[in-house]
C-alpha cells in the first residue's frame, strides 16, 4: 500500500534540470495552450470558486488502454498563484526531483531526442528501491508534458502513463495546473484500499509543484487569484 502511493507520487512529481533540457523545451511559449475559458467549462461554478480558494480537486476518468481494456485515470487540478513560465520551469527540472520529492532517490536524464526526454528514476519504499524509466514528451507550445513507461529499460512497475497540463489564468499572472495519470504497480493490493490511498495522495502531488514554485519564486508577491479568501501567503 505504501509502495503504491510512493510510486504514484514519484511518477507525478515535478523534475529538474533547466540547464540540461534544451532551451527550446525549457522555455514555455504557450502559443497553443488551453484557454482559461476552455478550462472553466470543465468545472461547475462552485468548483472554480473552490480552486480559487486554494483547494485541489480530484476526479476519475475511464479510458481505453493499448490492450483495449478499460482502465481508470486519476486527475488532480489546482491553481498555482505564480505565472505559467515559473511553474513550467519546475515541471521540466527533472533532475532535482530528489531534492524536494519524498521517496525519490534518483531522477536522471539519460537521453533527449527531439521533444522526448528519457528520465531514469528510483523510488525508495521502506527498505526497497523501485526502478523505472519514463519518456516525457515535452511541448512548450501547448503547455503539456505527456509521459509513458520506457519498456526498453529495466522497470519494476507494470505501466504508467499521464499528462501535466498548464493553463494560464488571470491574464497570465497565475496558473491552473492539471495532472492526469494511470499507473499499474503490478503489485497485489486490494482495489478498494488502493483507490482510497490514491485519492488521498492526489492533492499532495499538485502541492509539491506549488510548494517548489513558491520556493523558487521567493522575492515575488505570492498573490492568490481574485475571489480567494486569502490574498497573500506570507
State how far the Cα of 44 lies from the Cα of 78, in Å rounded to an integer. 14
In a domain, 233, yes or no: no
In a domain, 192, yes or no: yes
Based on the structure, what is the number of domains in the chain? 1
Interval 69-108: pLDDT, tens: 456 678 999 999 999 999 999 999 988 877 766 667 888 9
In a domain, 230, yes or no: no
Range of the domain at 127: 2-216
Residues 6+ apart with CB under 8 A from 6: 102, 103, 123, 124, 125, 130
Its pTM stands at: 0.80
16 secondary structure, DSSP code: E
Q: Would you place residue 32 in the very low, low, confident or very high pLDDT band (cuts 50, 70, 90)?
A: very high
Which tops the pLDDT comparison, 204 or 209?
209
> Hunting for cell 503504491 — which residue is that?
4
In a domain, 222, yes or no: no
pLDDT at 54: 93
pLDDT at 81: 92
pLDDT at 17: 39
Grid coordinates given for 185: 504497480
Helix 2-12 with 191-216: angle, nearest 10 deg: 40
Give the 3-state secondary structure of residue 192. helix
In a domain, 103, yes or no: yes
Give the 3-state secondary structure of residue 169. strand
User: Vertex 214, ends 208 and 220: CA angle to 5°?
Assistant: 170
pLDDT at 148: 94
Most confident range, picked from 6-10, 66-70, 127-131: 127-131
15-16/92-93 β-pairing = parallel
Interval 108-153: pLDDT, tens: 999 999 999 999 988 776 667 778 899 999 999 999 999 999 999 8
Amino acid at each position: 500500500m505504501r509502495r503504491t502511493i510512493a510510486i504514484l507520487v514519484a511518477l507525478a512529481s515535478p523534475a529538474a534540470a533547466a540547464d540540461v533540457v534544451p532551451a527550446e523545451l525549457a522555455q514555455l511559449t504557450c502559443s497553443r495552450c488551453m484557454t482559461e475559458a476552455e478550462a472553466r467549462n470543465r468545472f461547475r461554478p462552485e468548483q472554480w470558486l473552490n480552486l480559487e480558494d486554494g483547494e485541489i480537486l480530484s476526479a476519475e476518468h475511464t479510458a481505453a488502454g493499448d490492450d483495449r481494456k478499460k482502465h481508470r485515470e486519476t486527475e488532480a487540478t489546482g491553481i498555482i498563484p505564480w505565472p505559467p513560465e515559473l511553474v513550467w520551469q519546475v515541471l521540466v527540472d527533472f533532475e532535482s526531483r530528489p531534492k524536494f520529492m519524498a521517496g525519490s532517490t534518483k531522477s536522471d536524464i539519460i537521453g533527449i531526442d527531439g521533444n522526448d526526454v528519457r528520465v531514469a528514476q528510483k523510488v525508495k519504499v521502506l527498505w526497497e528501491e523501485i526502478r523505472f524509466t519514463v519518456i516525457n514528451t515535452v511541448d512548450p507550445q501547448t503547455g503539456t508534458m505527456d509521459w509513458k513507461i520506457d519498456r526498453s529499460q529495466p522497470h519494476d512497475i507494470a505501466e504508467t502513463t499521464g499528462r501535466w497540463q498548464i493553463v494560464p489564468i488571470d491574464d497570465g499572472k497565475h496558473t491552473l495546473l492539471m495532472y492526469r495519470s494511470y499507473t499499474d504497480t503490478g503489485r497485489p493490493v486490494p482495489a478498494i484500499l488502493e483507490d482510497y490511498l490514491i485519492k488521498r495522495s492526489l492533492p499532495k502531488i499538485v502541492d509539491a509543484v506549488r510548494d517548489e514554485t513558491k520556493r523558487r519564486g521567493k522575492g515575488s508577491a505570492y498573490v492568490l487569484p481574485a475571489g480567494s479568501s486569502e490574498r497573500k501567503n506570507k
